[in-house]
Chain A
Amino acid sequence: MIFCDKVVKWRLYEYVSPLERHSITEWRNGLKTAARKADLDTFLRIQVKIRDWVAPSVKPLSGKRWKGLFELRWKSDGVPHRIGGYFAAPDEFVMLIGFTHNANKYDPSEALEKTILQRKRQIQNGEASLSEYKVIFGQ
């Protein structure tokens, strides 16, 4: 992992439910096409090597309820893909949920209205945990 230690600047964590379900890993594996999986993998692989996370790849969620929450943004198969989460440290991002949205319809439908807020709360309460997300590299 010498290569990764040199180039990777961010650590990504994913939400793990009380039933030990890894939110982002499962979402990634459940994506409909190989293209969507590859795009997600490539996006994260590049993103963890960029020191400054800026728009349009990363944006804060707007609205008081979502204060402190951000989304990672890319498009795959013409569909906007998002990972919602928050910064736990200057070089750590916690991924709470992966979702898509098209014409204001979210999939899963309650991704922003309910799930992301609930998951953040569960982590803060200790009801759920975090696990480091393994970004896919060739080395």
Chain B
Amino acid sequence: MNTKSSLANELKDKEYRHAFVASQIRIGLPLQCRALREGRGWTQPQLAQAANMSQPRISEIERPGERKLNIETLLRLAEAFDVALDVRFVTFRDLVDAADKLDLDKFFVNSFNEDLADLENEEIWAKAKHSLSSSAPRLKEMQDDLSEIDAYVLGPQKAERMDNLRKMPSSILCGNTGNQLAGEGEKGLCA
């Protein structure tokens, strides 16, 4: 919250700031409820059925300021949407910041199953990352081992030997001598 903002100025009045808190519930929650329902592609009757309420009651709940929403009603709606409900005491600053950041066009609260799937995906990814990072030293060791084997098998004069082989006539190369050379690791030159 910006202390110079017009809202901060209004909140200096105690009556207003407590009315502001109430308005987040009376005005803000109905609009959130509608956004949640529309986000799931539900009609009012569908939400009514899920919450075990009548459709006219849902219609009332979604009208800003129409009715006082009690905790029981909110809990039933939370259960219908399968989302959590967070009721707690906070600073005015936190409340104002949350209200400012709320963007109903992007407002979507995952249901438990969607939340769980996200969580599981995050865990799988975290494990994969951990596994990769813990494998890195071993991979480096294996790479070093392979380099050593390569050097041992092919020898330090590999390039020179390859040049000599290329200069030889193919008839010699593919004869006994060539086969002996090829047997040392240069197969494929006769192909």
Contact = CB atoms under 8 A, between A and B. Distances in A.
A34 B15 contact: yes
A55 to B, nearest CB: 9
Given A35-B23, A39-B27, A75 B65 contact: yes
Chain B binding surface SS class:
helix
Contacts of A74: 27, 63-65
Interface residues of B, number: 35
A139 B100 CA distance: 8
A49 interface: yes
Contacts of A33: 15, 19
B117 interface: no
Interface stretch (A11-19, A83-91, A120-128, A130-138): A130-138
A57 B6 CA distance: 24
Contacts of B19: 33-35, 37-39
B125 interface: no
A37 B18 CA distance: 12
Nearest to A76: B65
Nearest to B68: A78
Interface stretch (B102-110, B131-139, B172-180): B102-110
Interface string B44-76: 000000000000000100111110000000000
A43 B99 contact: no
Interface string A43-87: 101100111000011000000000000000111100001000000
B64 A57 contact: yes
B113 interface: no
Given A34-B19, A50-B104, A138 B64 contact: no
Nearest to B18: A34
A9 B105 contact: yes
A46 B100 contact: no
B84 interface: no
Contacts of A138: 1-2, 5, 7-8, 96-97, 99-100
Contacts of B96: 138
Interface of B: 1-2, 5-8, 10, 13, 15-16, 18-20, 22-24, 26-28, 31, 59, 62-66, 96-97, 99-105
Given A57-B31, A137-B5, 19 more contacts: A3-B100, A7-B100, A9-B105, A33-B19, A34-B19, A35-B22, A37-B10, A38-B20, A39-B26, A42-B99, A43-B64, A46-B31, A49-B103, A49-B105, A50-B105, A75-B65, A136-B7, A138-B8, A138-B97
